[in-house]
């Protein structure tokens, strides 16, 4: 394997490539932990940071604590395009190290600050590097894996996030329930520090995109198909987060299990996400369109099933597994679509996917919390998630219909096989 370096081509051994990919995935593991651990610890965060409100109305306190999830998601939305566009020319290793240092400091601040308002601000700031990390790491992973494996490179980096939902989030949730949520976030900060060291040791030097400028990267926003792809993620992916944000009270108040069951339910979701991510990455390299339609269909069916059977433990576990699997399969699929339609704005396209998905996170968490706060109960966010996913499907139908029309008129529009080329008909 030959990659550019400051001194010319550098040949990497297969073992070195695996080490580098593992380091990138470890960063995804840390990001998955910091993003999703709040969902299992929502009642703990509410009771500690909003004690008066929690004593008077636990549902209202849980809904307000959901703002911590939304704040993180909005930080991703702001940070991903800003950092990716501004730093596209930076050497990739140095950029990843800077992002990991920011993650570490922001997560420590989240653990130590004393009030709800300050923790809210810290969650926003600590999320700023999220999308840029995944975007740059995905480009690096794709270059390490070689041609024709773009979606698999994206999926490999995302596998750290999904594995976090199998191992990291349940374990850290258990720790947070036992030793306090602040201890949980300190462990997450330690994961980021370990990733920093792993990237120092494993990651080869890679130049940034020397031809990239902020102006060229921002051209992605002038393309209608980019906006459609962003809408698919921002709205359609809200179906997952409307459910996931309030999974702890769903388990305890609807299914009737005790709080100790929450980490085990999170494992089930995490296993589904891990399987779905790998399957989605492999399928998206063959056909983005068919993969997107198939897994949106699974998600819609799973959300209906969950809403109807959440009082039963078997229904709860089965349909939460399917919600996690289908959503995770969509993540590399949507990212590949964005990289297709963004053409030469690849750095910002790779990062924008995480802005879109986390806008879905913020939207799902907000609307789900609004439904709970108005007294509709903890199943209501599932129905809201169904509506959001259905709107995502509509955007997918529109964007692929535009592709069909362009092909009919003589334009070349390949699916998931590199950049989308626009060719005037002969």
In the 3-class helix/strand/coil scheme, how is the chain assigned residue by residue? CEECCECECEECCHHHHHHHHHHHHHHHHHHHHHHHHHHHCHHHHHHHHCHHHHHHCHHHHHHHHCHHHHHHHHHHHHHHHHHHHHCCCCCHHHHHHHHHHHHHHHHHHHHHCCCHHHHHHHHHHHHCCHHHHHHHHHHHHHHHHCCCCHHHHHHHHHHHHHHHHHHHHHHHHHHHHHHCHHHHHHHHHHHHHHHHHHHHHHCCCCCCCCCCCHHHHHHHHHCHHHHHHHHHHHHHCHHHHHHHCCHHHHHHHHCCCCHHHHHHHHHHHHHHHHHHHHHHHHHHCCCHHHHHHHHHHHHHHHHHHHHHHCCCHHHHHHHHHHHHHHHHHHHHHHHHHHHHHCCCCHHHHHHHHHHHHHHHHHHHHHHHHHHHHCCCCCCHHHHHHHHHHHHHHHHHHHHHHHHHHHHHCCCCCCCCCCCCCCCCCC
User: Across residues 19-40, what is the average pLDDT?
Assistant: 85
pLDDT at 8 over 50: no
User: Across residues 345-353, what is the average pLDDT?
Assistant: 70
pLDDT at 282 over 90: no
Per-residue confidence band for 9, with pLDDT thresholds at 50, 70 and 90:
very low
Structure tokens at 256: 């009737």
User: Across residues 247-255, what is the average pLDDT?
Assistant: 89
pLDDT at 5 over 70: no
Contact between residue 99 and residue 129 where contact means Cβ atoms under 8 Å apart: yes
Contact between residue 324 and residue 365 where contact means Cβ atoms under 8 Å apart: no
Per-residue confidence band for 395, with pLDDT thresholds at 50, 70 and 90:
very high
Among 55-59, 129-133, 163-167, 418-422, the minimum mean pLDDT is found in 418-422
Per-residue confidence band for 415, with pLDDT thresholds at 50, 70 and 90:
very low
Contact between residue 104 and residue 192 where contact means Cβ atoms under 8 Å apart: yes
CA 392/CA 236 separation, integer angstroms: 4
Per-residue confidence band for 50, with pLDDT thresholds at 50, 70 and 90:
confident
Beta bridge partners of 10: 3
Among 52-61, 77-86, 345-354, the minimum mean pLDDT is found in 345-354
pLDDT at 1 over 50: no
User: Across residues 339-362, what is the average pLDDT?
Assistant: 74
pLDDT at 143 over 50: yes
User: Across residues 399-424, what is the average pLDDT?
Assistant: 60
- pLDDT of res. 414: 47
Closest Cα to residue 208, out of 139, 275, 269?
139
- pLDDT of res. 297: 94
Closest Cα to residue 214, out of 350, 86, 342, 95?
86
Per-residue confidence band for 422, with pLDDT thresholds at 50, 70 and 90:
very low
Per-residue confidence band for 412, with pLDDT thresholds at 50, 70 and 90:
low
Contact between residue 166 and residue 270 where contact means Cβ atoms under 8 Å apart: yes
pLDDT at 59 over 50: yes
In terms of average pLDDT, the best of 15-19, 89-93, 99-103 is 99-103
pLDDT at 82 over 60: yes
Taking all residues of the chain, what is their mean pLDDT, rounded to a whole number?
81
Contact between residue 154 and residue 11 where contact means Cβ atoms under 8 Å apart: no
Per-residue confidence band for 15, with pLDDT thresholds at 50, 70 and 90:
confident
Structure tokens at 198: 């792993």
CA 271/CA 163 separation, integer angstroms: 7
Structural domains in the chain plus CATH codes: 10-408 (1.20.1250.20)
From residue 131, alpha-carbon distances to 108, 241, 396 in Å are 19, 17, 22
Higher-pLDDT residue of 400, 213: 400
pLDDT at 157 over 80: no
Q: Which residues are CB-neighbours of 171 under 8 A, at least 6 positions away?
A: 263
CA 152/CA 184 separation, integer angstroms: 31
pLDDT at 213 over 70: no
Per-residue confidence band for 421, with pLDDT thresholds at 50, 70 and 90:
very low
- pLDDT of res. 345: 67
- pLDDT of res. 423: 35
Burial of residue 216, with CB atoms counted within 10 A of its CB: 0-12 exposed, 13-18 middle, 19 or more buried: middle
- pLDDT of res. 424: 32
Per-residue confidence band for 413, with pLDDT thresholds at 50, 70 and 90:
low
CA 105/CA 288 separation, integer angstroms: 37
Among 117-126, 184-193, 261-270, the minimum mean pLDDT is found in 261-270
Higher-pLDDT residue of 325, 7: 325
- pLDDT of res. 230: 87
Residue 312 backbone dihedrals phi, psi, to 5 degrees: -110, 130
- Rounded to the nearest 5 degrees, what angle is found at the Cα of 157, between the Cα atoms of 152 and 160? 125
Closest Cα to residue 27, out of 120, 131, 147, 174?
131
Structure tokens at 309: 């059977």
pTM of the model: 0.69
User: Across residues 256-274, what is the average pLDDT?
Assistant: 85
């Amino acid at each position: 394997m030959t990659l550019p370096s400051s001194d010319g081509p550098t040949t990497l051994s297969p073992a070195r490539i695996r080490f580098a990919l593992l380091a990138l995935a470890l960063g995804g593991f840390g990001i998955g932990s910091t993003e999703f651990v709040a969902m299992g610890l929502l009642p703990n965060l509410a009771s500690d940071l909003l004690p008066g409100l929690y004593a008077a109305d636990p549902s209202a306190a849980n809904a307000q604590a959901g703002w911590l999830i939304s704040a993180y998601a909005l930080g991703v939305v702001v940070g991903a395009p800003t950092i990716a566009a501004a730093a596209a020319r930076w050497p990739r290793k140095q950029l990843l190290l800077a992002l990991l240092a920011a993650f570490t400091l922001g997560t420590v601040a989240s653990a130590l600050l004393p009030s709800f308002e300050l923790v809210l601000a810290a969650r926003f700031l600590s999320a700023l590097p999220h999308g840029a990390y995944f975007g740059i790491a995905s480009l690096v992973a794709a270059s390490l894996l070689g041609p024709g494996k773009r979606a698999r490179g994206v999926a490999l980096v995302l596998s750290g996030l999904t594995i976090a939902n199998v191992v990291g989030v349940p374990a850290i949730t258990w720790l947070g329930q036992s030793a306090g949520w602040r201890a949980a976030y300190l462990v997450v900060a330690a994961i980021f520090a370990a990733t920093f060291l792993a990237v120092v040791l494993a990651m080869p030097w890679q130049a940034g995109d020397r031809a990239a400028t902020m102006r060229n990267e921002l051209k992605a926003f002038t393309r209608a198909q980019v906006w459609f792809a962003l809408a698919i993620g921002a709205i359609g992916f809200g179906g997952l987060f409307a459910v996931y944000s309030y999974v702890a009270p769903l388990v305890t108040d609807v299914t009737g299990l005790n709080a100790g069951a929450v980490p085990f339910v999170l494992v089930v979701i995490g296993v589904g996400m891990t399987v779905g991510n790998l399957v989605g990455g492999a399928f998206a390299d063959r056909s983005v369109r068919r993969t997107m339609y198939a897994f949106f269909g699974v998600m819609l069916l799973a959300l209906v099933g969950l809403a109807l059977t959440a009082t039963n433990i078997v229904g709860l576990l089965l349909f939460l597994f399917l919600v996690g699997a289908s959503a995770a399969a969509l993540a590399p699929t949507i990212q590949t679509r964005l990289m297709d339609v963004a053409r030469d704005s690849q750095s910002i396209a790779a990062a924008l996917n995480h802005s879109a998905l986390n806008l879905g996170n913020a939207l799902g968490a907000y609307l789900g919390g609004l439904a709970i706060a108005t007294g509709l109960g903890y199943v209501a966010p599932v129905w809201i998630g169904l509506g959001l996913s259905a709107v995502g499907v509509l955007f997918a139908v529109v964007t692929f219909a535009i592709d069909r029309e362009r092909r009919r008129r003589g334009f070349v529009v390949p699916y998931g096989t590199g950049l989308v080329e626009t060719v005037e008909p002969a």
